[in-house]
Chain A
């Protein structure tokens, strides 16, 4: 390869410096070399693969997605039966992954923020406990924690007949967690509708209040008013629709419970594991974000006559969010990717369904490609959203 470049150099030799010393030519030559080498390796691997597939009589492509899956999935958000095709099974897995990740992200953020603030608490006991939690959980593999939670749920909790009931209507047993669910009633739909109307109104109020403040300087208690709007409207709608309070409490029938909302042991274990593990990392991010804002900032805010809540909302929070958001993004991505460990405890997420599909059909390349495509899409979506949010809150510089 090196000989080629030298030859090319001697041919072009003229009164000017040799082509070999021309940075542009060298850059081009290096790139052609590297790209050529990679294409050659890739071609070698692909041709081997095609040979092997032909020899094993495996058809390539995604045609198998239409075939009957003929395996059962323990939990599904959409209708699914073993008679459904692989494509539908795959969608079921995808929805299960999204369910675990989204709930996990919300709960981990809440728990992580509480623990992160607790680490800075003036109460010695609170700060110490938070530190012990963070140091312990961070240093033990997530998979081990998942197995432990799964073991706790399936082996240490009693049978449904002796289920623990810490709160009226909530049952913990080795078949999963059961929560009471409200009986279907149009009032709940009205309340949900009112909630979204409340959000829309709150946005409108915010825009109006900001414009009025910019024009006249008059302040409006936007935060309190909007909280009241968002929380109060659904309650009002619920009350106007007759305030139904009938809850469907899970009931023991035969060997298992009937009714209510049920969380399977697998889902409970993966959710608890992901939340507890990721929260320990979020706690450290929140703590460093708060510490990153100089105390002088708060003092200056107070000296300007702002109230404590205003100092927190207008001075401290915007600055610490700038430190917190980028690492938080990668924690959300980690949580989503870690949800793939569900395969180890049998929660039917997208990886576990793709794995079953691969074992049944032998379509290894397509299976792995699907898993990768799903996670790349989710990662891209989360980073795009968080980048947008980061830009939104970033310091505007000259």
Chain B
């Protein structure tokens, strides 16, 4: 080895072809051992069996743009004409079709709010106010009934706006309850702790469907005679209960991560329980739990699809309803791929954001 260090006198040797460049990469990553080579070949063969027919179905033989279902069946590939025909119904549900600009603005408003909240420069108490105003605008524009906008009852809402409203409102309203539940679970007061533990474990131990069933069939019985609440609100309350229990556990994780010294120092300064909690503990705990909170939001966003079982018209239900049109039978793959892409776009973006946030928060905390 020592002899090789005499550079300069010798001509520069090129690296061997088999260990550098594309060939070297192939060797190191695909054919490093005999079983890796075998695995690579088997997988390539399987991919060759699956991918070309799939691409053919998705793109080449597919029927694009407007067209009838007969043309679709003749083409033999995916029927994107079905989506072309039905996408407005799938995305907006039964909202009056001449008013579709309203749910569009509502969707953009919610996405805008999420986008603003993802920027750390805007993290301040003011953000809460922005959300209240923003969601007020969303509900205003969906309900209408002022400034010449026609009133649209929420039984006509559907599709993506409903999915977004259910998940965003559910999570936002549940958050303060979740913080209280998490504090209660770590409280020294035995009765309060027992009740918080009981609530959290009860909700987390049962499937979301049973809570939605409870919301749809039992809530009407809870109310005094003559008082009714609409289906959307009932489902929303069910979601809030569910989200509060799951978020409470996330917040508890944050509370447990705060070193004991912080609690003791606050006590030593003579702060009261609420001063200690609101000024010392929560600001630190909540900033730790933001990335897992985003993950909760992702699973929650996916879970809103369950409202189809209690008969609300979210994105999942509108896609199913579009499939029942006798003129367009059997194009379930196209419909599911379409809404699958919408769900995927939201969830993938949020999970990437949560990963990025976690590393960047860790970095800034270390310095």
Contact = CB atoms under 8 A, between A and B. Distances in A.
A binds B: yes
Interface of A: 27, 30-31, 34-35, 38, 45, 48-49, 51-53, 55, 122-126, 129, 135-136, 138-144, 147-148, 151, 155-156, 333, 337-338, 340-341, 343-344, 351, 355, 358, 364-365, 367-368, 371-372, 375-376, 379-380
Interface string B201-216: 0101111111001100
Given A34-B192, A338-B207, A341-B306, A155 B213 contact: no
B71 interface: no
Given A123-B39, A139-B351, A351 B209 contact: yes
Nearest to B330: A155
A371 B213 contact: yes
A155 B330 CA distance: 7
23 contacts: A52-B225, A55-B225, A123-B39, A125-B43, A136-B344, A138-B351, A139-B302, A139-B343, A143-B305, A143-B306, A144-B343, A148-B332, A148-B333, A148-B336, A148-B340, A340-B209, A351-B207, A364-B217, A367-B213, A368-B213, A371-B207, A375-B205, A375-B210
Contacts of B218: 364-365, 368
A364 B234 CA distance: 15
B43 A368 contact: no
Interface of B: 29-30, 32, 36, 39-40, 43-44, 188-192, 195, 202, 204-210, 213-214, 217-218, 220-225, 298, 302-303, 305-306, 308-309, 316, 320, 330, 332-333, 336, 339-340, 343-344, 347-348, 351
B221 A368 contact: no
B217 A358 contact: yes
- In the A-B complex, list the 6 residue pairs whose CB atoms are closest, starting with the nearest: A124-B29, A139-B347, A337-B207, A141-B302, A364-B217, A340-B207
Contact of B210 (A27, A144, A351): A351
Contacts, number: 151
A306 B189 CA distance: 53
Given A139-B344, A147-B316, A341-B209, 6 more contacts: A45-B222, A51-B225, A125-B30, A138-B347, A147-B320, A371-B213
Nearest to A365: B218
B30 A151 contact: no
B356 to A, nearest CB: 15
Contacts of A141: 302-303, 305, 316, 343
Contacts of A371: 206-207, 209-210, 213
Contacts of B351: 138-139
Contacts of A151: 332-333, 336
B332 A155 contact: yes
